[in-house]
Amino acid sequence: MPRISPQKKEETKRKILMISKKRFTENGYNQTSIKQIAADACIAEGTLFNYFPTKADLFFQAIDKDDFRTSDIEFRQYDSTLDVTDILMQYIHHKTVKILSMPKKVLIELGTALLGDAILKADIVDSLVQIDRDHIEHLVEFILYLQSRGMIRSCDAKVFGECIFDIVFMEFFIYLNMQERTLDEVYAKIREKLAAVLTGFRPVQQVNPSI
């Protein structure tokens, strides 16, 4: 049997990932089978497992770059004329809009399946943790930028960033576990909590001596 070239292997892998993402996002994790993906990719089911050892591995690699991570934009592109709460909401919306564009049912299935597999697979746990760290690190950079602009008082940006991340994570967790909760309600609740937290971190307004 002739050996497959590295170029052909990479081409096949990209094809599998493209097909998998479409299947997972349209049908959900549970309703998508490895057999379906292999058939769409015109390869044997056993061949697919040569590229991805488990269904969860395949999902994570198919979804990771496009949905769990977002492209960074220049901080100065955010509307600096807004209140700092709304600026942070712009940032949060940019970081979450892609993954939350997926149907709630699909997100629940994917999250449940991935978590169940991650318990047994340290590499998946490490990847999930690294994604969280990346988001927090970028959020900390944004907070430092807002501090440099005088929009937030000096504070431990890392701790403050972790607090904001926890607020967002908790509201999205509630969203996935409450059927009636809408995305508009999620963002509204995040804004409400951010406004409360920011109360103690707004710069002291200087008094105009002419008044």
144 & 180 share domain: yes
94 & 185 share domain: yes
Does 209 reside within a domain?
no
186 & 125 share domain: yes
Structure tokens given for 74: 């220049």
What pLDDT does 95 receive? Answer: 86
How would you write the pLDDT of the chain (211 residues) with one tens digit per residue?
Answer: 457 788 889 999 999 999 998 898 888 777 889 999 999 999 999 999 999 988 878 887 887 655 555 556 678 888 878 899 999 999 999 888 877 877 787 778 766 766 665 555 566 667 667 778 888 999 999 999 999 989 999 899 999 999 999 999 999 989 988 988 999 999 999 999 999 999 888 876 533 333 3
Structure tokens given for 94: 């940019």
The one-letter amino acid code at 28 reads: G
Distance between CA 56 and CA 62 in Å, rounded? 10
Classified as helix, coil or strand, 16 is helix
- 78, 120, 193, 210 from 116: Cα distances, Å: 38, 8, 31, 64
Classified as helix, coil or strand, 6 is helix
Q: Are 171 and 190 in contact (CB under 8 A)?
A: yes
48 & 79 share domain: no
CATH number at residue 156: 1.10.357
In this structure, what is the dihedral angle of CA atoms 57, 178, 67, 18, given to the nearest 10 degrees? 60
What pLDDT does 144 receive? Answer: 93
Distance between CA 17 and CA 57 in Å, rounded? 11
What pLDDT does 107 receive? Answer: 78
97 & 150 share domain: yes
What pLDDT does 206 receive? Answer: 37
Domain carrying residue 148: 69-201
Distance between CA 7 and CA 69 in Å, rounded? 26
101 & 181 share domain: yes
